[in-house]
Amino acid sequence: MSKSKRHRRNAQRSPNAEPASARWTRWVAWLLCAITFPLLWLGGLVTTTKSGMAVPDWPGTYGYNLFLYPWTTWLFGPWDLFVEHGHRLLASLSGLVTIVLLVMLYKYESRPWMKTVGVVALVAVIAQGVLGGLRVVLDERLLAMVHGSVGPLFFVLTVAMVVWTSRSWLTARKVDQQGLARLAPLAAATGILVYVQMVVGAMLRHMPVTVSPYSFESVVKVHLVLATVVLMLTLVVARMCVASAAPTGVRCTGWSIIAVVLLQISLGVATWISKYGVPVWARGMYSPSSQSVLADGWWQAHIVTAHQAVGSALLASLVVATMLAWRYAPASIVNTETESFSKGVATG
């Protein structure tokens, strides 16, 4: 059978088949997202292990081009050098994939606003790289905190690009359901609160040792109160997603939110115990050996880093819930519910 006949037969069998260019664009978006999430983990590990100044120069590494630094020195050198240089390499790969995705969007994407999103992503990844470099050159703690707070936003953008390039998003049909319209503003507000909580967590992670005990205690209390509020709101959002009559994606997002928030709370408790020991009121349930704290130990470093990274996953899940609720609910209902929600927040 000739190639042209085979092509005509395949077109007749699947008249709604998407172009290969759309699949490739989606796969590149997935690749960028898959690179960015472990990049958050590695960046968090840099902060937790205090490896940020293991390489004192930028954009090179000890005078070498970033990509030409001897791999034996990197792999078999000190741990802090391995973490910091690895973070730079993975960040560079993230930037290169962002460029590839932008080129594909400009070549194949028919939605003009998606091309704008690609430009925003490129600007964001460049800005994030510059922030990380200035943090090293200036050895500035505030820049480190800003760098750590911007990273989750870029990850959320990569997740959004995966959703926007998905076939389910492109073929979605509106569902006349009031619950979806209420879900969109609530999930968005909860996501904003989660991000505020992450910024407070970044303040704790980058707080200098010279800070007063009162200031440290105040930030910790704010973090704990926000954690309680976030837990309640995310469970409400998750329940609305699971109980929704919308397509499967919304319900799956709800279950994902439940799993991630429970994991995050567990990691938060483990972080507290690993850093500060078992609370006084709970010490009767543990042997004395479990109350010891090993500063910057292996378990402490990875538990704290996991707590920071999973927070980004929770934020991304809430953003996906917001996007899907908005996508499937009729625009008139969403606008009405959003206006009512905003008025309710304004009046307290």
Show which of 120, 150, 171 is a domain's final residue.
Answer: 171
**From CA 326, how far away is CA 334, in angstroms rounded?**
7
Q: Are residues 247 and 333 in the same domain?
A: yes
Q: Are residues 36 and 165 in the same domain?
A: yes
- Segment (H or E) for 87: helix 79-108
Q: Are residues 103 and 196 in the same domain?
A: no
Q: Is the peptide bond before 59 cis (omega within 30 degrees of 0)?
A: yes
Q: Quick check: 147 and 135 in contact, CB under 8 A?
A: yes
Q: Are residues 79 and 197 in the same domain?
A: no
Q: Are residues 338 and 212 in the same domain?
A: yes
Q: pTM of the full predicted structure?
A: 0.84
Q: Are residues 186 and 235 in the same domain?
A: yes
C-alpha closest to that of 335 among 184, 125, 136, 177 = 184
Q: Are residues 107 and 243 in the same domain?
A: no
- Segment (H or E) for 33: helix 20-48
- Reading the chain (348 residues) residue by residue, the pLDDT tens digits are 454 554 455 444 444 566 778 889 999 999 999 999 999 999 888 888 888 888 989 989 999 999 999 999 999 989 889 999 999 999 999 999 999 999 999 999 989 999 999 999 999 999 999 999 998 888 888 888 899 899 999 999 999 999 999 988 888 777 666 667 788 899 999 999 999 999 998 888 888 777 888 888 888 889 999 999 999 999 999 999 988 766 778 889 999 999 999 999 999 988 888 776 666 555 555 555 444 444 566 778 888 889 999 999 999 999 999 999 888 876 544 444 444 434 444 454
| Residue 8 included in any domain | no
Q: Quick check: 340 and 260 in contact, CB under 8 A?
A: no
Q: Are residues 94 and 111 in the same domain?
A: yes
| Residue 53 included in any domain | yes
C-alpha closest to that of 164 among 329, 316, 323 = 323
Q: Are residues 343 and 227 in the same domain?
A: yes
Residue type, position 176, single letter: D
pLDDT at 13: 46
Show which of 171, 195, 229 is a domain's final residue.
Answer: 171
Q: Are residues 147 and 110 in the same domain?
A: yes
Q: Are residues 196 and 315 in the same domain?
A: yes
C-alpha closest to that of 196 among 232, 235, 157, 225 = 225
Phi and psi dihedrals of 289, rounded to 5? -65, -25
Residue type, position 193, single letter: L
Show which of 110, 144, 171 is a domain's final residue.
Answer: 171
Count of domains in the chain? Answer: 2
| Residue 242 included in any domain | yes
Q: Residue 228 belongs to what domain range? A: 175-281+288-348
Q: Are residues 299 and 336 in the same domain?
A: yes
CB neighbours of residue 204 within 10 Å: 16
**From CA 318, how far away is CA 187, in angstroms rounded?**
6
Q: Where on the phi/psi map is residue 139: left (φ > 0), alpha (ψ -120 to 50), or beta? A: left
